[in-house]
Amino acid sequence: MSELKLHGNNGLLNMDEASQFLGIKKSTLYSLCMKRQISCVKIGRLNRFQVSSLNKWIESHIQEAV
């Protein structure tokens, strides 16, 4: 995966960047936001994502091997 470069937006990712970071479709990420299953920052009508929040979400969904 190519490295994401955070611009001058306080380390917030837009929907495209966050879906790429998680390796999921943008529509899936949007659905997770609407169901409040993943944290996002609302700026007007826009959803932005903190990398630290995305990493926490990933950690909370790890399934241990049996």
The set of residues, in sequence order, having a beta carbon less than 8 Å from that of 17 and lying 6+ positions away, is: 4, 49
Q: Compute CA distances 39 → 2, 36, 44, 50, 65, whole Å.
A: 23, 7, 16, 8, 26
Q: Say what the pLDDT of residue 4 is.
A: 56
pLDDT digits (tens, 9 = 90+) for 14-65: 999 999 999 999 999 999 999 999 999 999 999 999 999 999 999 998 988 8
Domain definitions of the chain by residue range: 12-54
Q: Say what the pLDDT of residue 3 is.
A: 54
Q: How confident is the model at residue 1 (pLDDT cuts 50, 70, 90)?
A: very low
